[in-house]
Amino acid sequence: MRKEFLVFGKPAIEEAEIAEVVDSLRSGWIGSGPKVQRFEQMLGEYVGESEVRCVSSCTAALFLAMKTLGIGAGHEVIIPAMTFVASANAVEHTGAKAILVDVDPETGLIDLDAAEAAITPRTKAIMPVHLWGLPVEMDRVNSIRDRCGIEIIEDAAHALGAEWNGRPIGSFDNLTAYSFYVNKNITTIEGGALVARDSGTATRIEQLALHGLSAGAWQRFSDAGFKHYEATEPGYKFNMTDVQAALGIHQLPRLDRWIDRRAEIWDSYDRDLADLPLTLPAAVPDHVRHARHIYQVRLRPDAGLTRDQLLEELHRRNIGTGVHYRGVHLHPYYRDRDGIDPSSLPNATEISETTLSLPLHSLLTEKDRVDVVEALQEILAQPQRGRRSA
């Protein structure tokens, strides 16, 4: 039994970030300004795309992506049922309808056959989700895009640092959204970014994120001199601040090292949990770089207890866990509005009922990892499973 609770996800905040935040506070410029621009440039260099704009969240990025594509009332956007509900919510906020399709039973990623079959004259886009940091099959995604003449909006909230065939996720000529929420591989506390395909789209994203104004506060009030501005359209308040970007500009250079550390923990989990009644994450193909964001396992029927019972037992032993995710189709709003029978999306439903995520972050020690493994071994030991199922 651990004496201290092991949190599921813990951000690695170092002295450089703290000093950068303090510098922003002392400078008097704490809104969107030069540090946001610097972080955007760094992100662009990292993913190999020059046009990146930072915003307040990945949800905002997804919403703005759809707005720039003219998606709205009367349109449909196809998304996987197994994703965080924010993916669907962003669609709904545009006035369009989220069309849910099932996922691959092994990887949990969007079933691209089902997605293509769901295309109708109202379909404006497909939103593949690079779930848990595992990239969707981008060659097939872009083939559907080109053959069917629809847009692709990549939800890469989990996938900064992931690659498909040697190319970073975000470099496939699609609008691509990232998250920097507190439990992500790098964090700006809250925040996100959107990869645009050209400077015109990037400019519109930037303007929409700040009330539709033709010039942001940094352009209006900096030492370059006051500049008048105009509202080109009614925009939103989705901008990132320099205080947030102050974290990101120091976190991003460490991302690859942190992913490598996560991969070491991942491989150790794979080795030490192999004999338990758990379905472990799908094997990573050689041509894929997994961002290793979430280590997700599924409880097998022979475990002798439910997933929620296992969560409770781990919590009792001071082990924090997560559930990623309860499928969108099981949330009351989407379930009731569309009259969805969970059996119509069997793979997403099965994952929803059996999945749990284990602690995984760059600060996880070997003792922490062993504590997780030993707790699972104790709970899932065969005699105990037999007693629970009796």
Q: What is the pLDDT of residues 92-103, one digit of tens each?
A: 999 999 999 999
Q: Which domain holds residue 60?
A: 15-254
Main-chain phi, psi angles of 136, to 5 degrees: -70, 160
Shared-domain flag, residues 373 and 235: no
Residue 389: its pLDDT value, please? 41
> Considering 184, 227, 237, 367, which one is annotated as catalytic?
184
Residue 223: its pLDDT value, please? 56
User: How large is the average pLDDT for residues 292-319?
Assistant: 97
Neighbours of 63 (CB within 10 A): 26
Q: Is 300:277 a contact under the CB 8 Å cutoff?
A: yes
Shared-domain flag, residues 60 and 161: yes
Shared-domain flag, residues 305 and 246: no
User: How large is the average pLDDT for residues 262-269?
Assistant: 98
Boundary of a domain, candidates 206, 237, 254: 254
Name the band, by pLDDT with cuts 50, 70 and 90, for residue 214. Answer: confident
Residue 229: its pLDDT value, please? 79
Domain assignment present for residue 361? The answer is yes
Residue 218: its pLDDT value, please? 52
Mean pLDDT value across the chain: 94
Boundary of a domain, candidates 232, 254, 276: 254
Q: Is 291:185 a contact under the CB 8 Å cutoff?
A: yes
Boundary of a domain, candidates 189, 221, 254: 254
CA distance 56 to 46: 20
Residue 325: its pLDDT value, please? 98
Shared-domain flag, residues 65 and 168: yes
Instruction: Answer yes or no: is pLDDT of 220 > 60.
Output: no
Q: What is the pLDDT of residues 150-185, one digit of tens each?
A: 999 999 999 999 999 999 999 999 999 999 999 999
Instruction: Answer yes or no: is pLDDT of 48 > 60.
Output: yes
Residue 230: its pLDDT value, please? 85
Residue 383: its pLDDT value, please? 54
Residue 148: its pLDDT value, please? 97
Instruction: Answer yes or no: is pLDDT of 348 > 90.
Output: yes
User: How large is the average pLDDT for residues 45-68?
Assistant: 97
Name the band, by pLDDT with cuts 50, 70 and 90, for residue 33. Answer: very high
Instruction: Answer yes or no: is pLDDT of 73 > 60.
Output: yes
Residue 174: its pLDDT value, please? 98
Residue 388: its pLDDT value, please? 46
User: How large is the average pLDDT for residues 321-340?
Assistant: 97
Domain assignment present for residue 249? The answer is yes
User: How large is the average pLDDT for residues 37-61?
Assistant: 97
Q: Which helix (H) or strand (E) holds 85?
A: helix 85-93
Domain assignment present for residue 9? The answer is no
Three-state secondary structure call for residue 345: coil
Number of domains comprising the chain: 2
Q: At what angle do helices 366-379 and 307-316 cross, to 10 degrees?
A: 130
- Residues above pLDDT 70, as percent of the chain: 94
Shared-domain flag, residues 59 and 191: yes
Domain assignment present for residue 4? The answer is no
Residue 161: its pLDDT value, please? 98
Residue 384: its pLDDT value, please? 54
Return the CATH number at 95.
Answer: 3.40.640.10
Shared-domain flag, residues 116 and 44: yes
Task: Count Cβ atoms within 10 A of the Cβ of residue 206 and give its class: 0-12 exposed, 13-18 middle, 19 or more buried.
Answer: buried
184 is annotated as an active-site residue: yes
Instruction: Answer yes or no: is pLDDT of 219 > 70.
Output: no
Residue 62: its pLDDT value, please? 98
- Residues above pLDDT 90, as percent of the chain: 91
Shared-domain flag, residues 271 and 145: no
User: How large is the average pLDDT for residues 9-13?
Assistant: 95
Summarize the chain as % helix, strand, coil (round to 5). Answer: 45, 15, 40
